[in-house]
Amino acid sequence: MKTTISQVGKYTDQEVVIGGWLANKRSSGKIAFLQLRDGTGFIQGVVVKAEVGEEVFSQAKNLTQESSLYVTGTVRSDERAPSGFELTVTGIEVIHEAVDYPITPKEHGTEFLMDHRHLWLRSKRQHAVMKIRNELIRSTYEFFNENGFVKVDPPILTGSSAEGTTNLFHTKYFDEDAYLSQSGQLYMEAAAMALGKVFSFGPTFRAEKSKTRRHLIEFWMIEPEMAFMDHEESLQVQEQYVTHMIQSVLKNCQLELKALGRDLSKLENIVAPFPRITYDDAIKFLQENGHEIEWGEDFGAPHETAIAESFEKPVFITNYPAEIKAFYMKPHPERSEVVLCADLIAPEGYGEIIGGSQRIDDMDLLKQRYDEHNLSEDAYKWYLDLRRYGSVPHSGFGLGLERTVAWVCGLEHVRETIPFPRLLNRLYP
Ligand code: 4AD
Ligand code: MG
């Protein structure tokens, strides 16, 4: 029976055929252990000379790393195996022999691995990261579909920017100027006025000159936008959404979390509601703990980490000064110098994973912001229409997928969270 590694449990003590690759191998004079992978998982194949005979055994001993194979064998349940199963090999058919695979089981430097990203993806650790990334995406669609949201796809090529003009990627659009989208938000606001509750999931681009472990040039964002919802209601959606994602990963990715050595107790804790702290209190807390920061300044990574360390769950920092936030955020009704916004900071030093706010719904105030931010009325004219025709209170947020993957997987750097990372110094492979 032809099957896959993830399905072998259905065939205990039966003979199966698996198409896969040789990830690694150990052997002695009498027995060979083949570490096989097929994309769905990893399994150990055991080849016993006394059982298979001279020819198959020597074939197994001479297999090279990453050769592609059809392996025939009997499925054995084995408590010591991570997946719970082992394969007693009876036959091997080599499909393609790989010669001198560059990524050997020894340690390699990061730059070397990044240069071979197209092959590095095959490793057990990268496999686990990609499976968890996929589960975060799957549970995102599940959460928003179950909660009455409609998926809407904003454009990638745009004529205007949402998050300021300093980090735009410029390109020609025939005779016009165009930019790669930094955020679909403005379009999602239009979609919310048509469909009520909407979400997007797509690539976004920021020409950030910063080389940090949290910044990618190209990253994927989930951007929900909700008509008739105020800031507080949006925070509740956010904490429920994050809870759903984390609990889904815990439920469906046990093998992968184990392969990464992730401390599960840290994730099991992640259940709504999440704590909230105002920007004002966060500044006070930082000052009291020896950080040099004044009211009105934005937080850097060390500040976020210091704040997050006081909490076991993600923490919302709310009501930032209007000065350091985007033009579209609605001012606080009692304190116009701060806005109705929040950043969600992940625990354990993984930084900001969500930025969100209630949006300005008043036409005159929005026009005033255009002036203050030097935004051309031409490029943003359509966005004003949303306040001209049946304006309503509305809120939304953006969750950065890669930062969330880094947190859930416990990864030092976001470069391992996306199949082919685009970094300041890397456009290849
Ligand atoms: O805080 P940001 O800039 O918010 C927005 O773009 C809003 N328009 C979203 C909205 O309200 N619809 O970005 C949102 C999130 C951040 O919290 C972070 O997780 C991620 O996107 N992010 C990045 N991730 C990786 N690399 C970068 N360069 C990122 N910049 C932002
Ligand atoms: Mg932000």
| ipTM of the complex in this document | 1.00
Catalogue the E-assigned strands of 159-217: 170-173, 176-180, 197-205
What DSSP element (H or E) covers 19?
Answer: strand 15-27
The enclosing H or E element of 127 equals helix 124-146
CA 310, CA 316: separation in Å to the nearest integer?
12
183 Cα: distance to centroid of ligand 1 (angstroms): 8
The model's pTM is 0.97
Looking at ligand 1, which residue's alpha carbon is closest to its atom 1?
355
Give me the amino acid identity at 362.
D
Rg over CA atoms, the chain? 26
The SS3 call for residue 177 is strand
| Per-residue CA distances from 87 to 4, 5, 11, 42, 63 (Å) | 12, 10, 11, 11, 17
What residues are in contact with ligand 1 under a 6 Å CB criterion? 162-163, 183, 185, 206, 208, 215-216, 219, 221, 223, 352-356, 396-398, 400, 402-403, 414
Residues with CB under 5 Å of ion ligand 2 are 355
Instruction: Examine the pLDDT at 121 and tell me if it is beyond 80.
Output: yes
378 touches 369 (CB < 8 A): no
Q: Check residues 423 and 379 and name the one with the higher pLDDT.
A: 423
Tell me: pLDDT of 164 over 80: no
Average pLDDT in the chain: 97
Taken in order of first residue, the domains within the chain and their CATH numbers are 2-96 (2.40.50.140), 117-416 (3.30.930.10)
Please give the Cα distance from 309 to 329 (Å, whole number).
Answer: 28
Q: What is the pLDDT of residues 236-254, one digit of tens each?
A: 999 999 999 999 999 999 9
Region 282-298: what's the mean pLDDT? 97
pLDDT of residue 39: 98
The CA distance from 77 to 11, in Å, is: 10
Q: How far is the CA of 400 from the centre of ligand 1 (A)?
A: 6
Taking CA atoms, 138 is separated from 125, 156, 222, in Å, by 20, 22, 12
Confidence at residue 376, expressed as pLDDT on a 0 to 100 scale = 86
The single-letter code of the amino acid at 253 is: C
Sign of the four-CA dihedral 280, 286, 290, 295: negative
Contact status, residue 23 vs residue 259, Cβ threshold 8 Å? no
